[in-house]
Amino acid sequence: MSQPPHELLGHLFRAALAAAAPATRVPDFLPPTPAGRTIVVGAGKAAAAMAQAVEAQWPDHAPLEGLVITRYGHGVLCRRVAVIEAGHPLPDTAGTEAAQRTLALVSGLGERDLVLCLLSGGGSALLAAPASGVTLDDKRTVTAALLRSGATIGEINCVRKHLSTIKGGRLALAAAPAAVVTLAISDVPGDDPAVIASGPTVPDPTTFADARAVLARHRVAAPRPVIAHLEAAADETPEPGDRRLTGHAYHMVARPQDALDAAAAACRAEGLDPLILGDRVQGEAREVAREHAALALRAGRERTPGGRPLVLLSGGETTVTVRGGGRGGRNAEYLLALAIALQSETGVSALAADTDGIDGTEDNAGAVIRPDTLARARALGLDPAAHLDDNDAYSLFAMLGDLVMTGPTRTNVNDFRAILIER
């Protein structure tokens, strides 16, 4: 290896991010200019960078206007498309006002017009247009409870779609009869268009009954207006096969697998053997960590002494059932649980980070662990197991100086994990 382990892991993470950069991924999927107007709308942590990439390629003589919504701090300068920053993961009034403006922009269009929709992770919270009778505070309450419950992103977005006037295919319905072309950067396991940003331009296979079941399964006590709306089930989202959504185009411009493939290529260039465990790993972060630790320990035992180092790569999105009062996203929690399970195994280091640059609601993308992580923590008087029990991995890694800080990356292809086994 040409670099120390933690620097090498950082190099692999940067290779993964580069493979999902909107500037390089969006241009290949742009549609021809229409005879009429082109309205750009969208939401997500990559939405502003995607809009900028559209503007860079769109002919100057062709009409182009619109609005995209991104998380605070994730905006970039665009010339023809307005960029609105709003709250994430909890929606706020800025997101609600921008979502209402989005619906107004796509209303009243004709058959010669085009709606170009740019979606990426985070779009569900940012496109906050509550259903009739449901307030923004109601949605914030439900979202916060679901985020702490251990619910998957698919489950959370099922509920979001049924409390919205814009998600679950409703944006595309509002744009009729204009053509709709969606460009999406996937941040969900399986790359399901109905889950990415809660699928505002595609049919929805879930129902009000499914949304009620999610709340019941995770014992979420929703506000009365939410319960009443879900029980009334008065206006179901358009289901697969709905003719009103036929003829639209949907392109996946970047996926978690693309990031893992790029990291694997970077491994081989550095003389390492990559093994991709999958791009859709799900489950409780600490349980996934224990499984990955077992794989790493077994791989270390079975490898030939002096052989090429091995890197276990994986993507997807773990969950955290929050029971403590500490700080830390799912990647930090995964890493702390991994370090405890590895028990200072010689020659094993790891990095886990969210590709959007934000691990949960913190200011870090993730963290790194080394063989001496537990020893250094204990030398500072820290109890790693107690920090894990309190969901407080962020604080431990901050005191060790092992947080990964990137700032907003303006892309989002879910979590990235790499375990380096040197022997």
46-103 per-position pLDDT tens digit: 999 999 999 999 999 999 999 999 999 999 999 999 999 999 999 999 999 999 999 9
pLDDT (0 to 100) of residue 374: 98
Reading across the β-sheet that carries 366-369, which strands appear in turn? 273-281, 310-316, 415-421, 348-354, 366-369, 403-404
Give yes or no for residue 423 having a pLDDT over 70.
no
Give yes or no for residue 305 having a pLDDT over 80.
no
What confidence tier does 330 reach under pLDDT thresholds 50, 70, 90? very high
What mean pLDDT is predicted for residues 129-158? 95
Give yes or no for residue 260 having a pLDDT over 70.
yes
- Asked if 48 and 410 touch (Cβ cutoff 8 Å), the reply is yes
What confidence tier does 170 reach under pLDDT thresholds 50, 70, 90? very high
Give yes or no for residue 304 having a pLDDT over 90.
no
Q: How does pLDDT run across 226-246, given as a tens digit for each residue?
A: 999 999 999 999 999 999 999
What confidence tier does 1 reach under pLDDT thresholds 50, 70, 90? low
- Amino acid letter at 298? R
What confidence tier does 307 reach under pLDDT thresholds 50, 70, 90? confident
Q: Scan for tokens 């392109």, then name that residue.
A: 251
The region, left, alpha or beta by phi > 0 then psi within -120 to 50, assigned to residue 190 is: left
Q: Domain locations in the chain?
A: 5-16+257-421, 31-254
Query: What is the distance between the alpha carbons of residues 150 and 214, in angstroms, rounded to a whole number?
Result: 11
Class of domain 5-16+257-421: alpha beta
Same CATH topology for 5-16+257-421 and 31-254: the answer is no
Q: How does pLDDT run across 366-392, given as a tens digit for each residue?
A: 999 999 999 999 999 999 999 999 999
Give yes or no for residue 22 having a pLDDT over 90.
yes
pTM for the full predicted model: 0.93
Give yes or no for residue 20 having a pLDDT over 80.
yes
pLDDT (0 to 100) of residue 69: 98
- Beta-bridged to residue 115, according to DSSP, are 39, 180
Q: How does pLDDT run across 243-258, given as a tens digit for each residue?
A: 999 989 999 999 999 9
- Contacts (Cβ under 8 Å, ≥6 apart) of 234: none
Q: Which of 123-132, 294-303, 309-318, 338-347 has the lowest mean pLDDT?
A: 294-303
31-254, superfamily in CATH?
Glycerate kinase, MOFRL-like N-terminal domain (3.40.50.10180)
What mean pLDDT is predicted for residues 278-285? 95
Give yes or no for residue 361 having a pLDDT over 90.
no
Q: What percentage of the chain has pLDDT greater than the value 70?
A: 99
Structure tokens at 44: 């997500």
Give yes or no for residue 184 having a pLDDT over 90.
yes
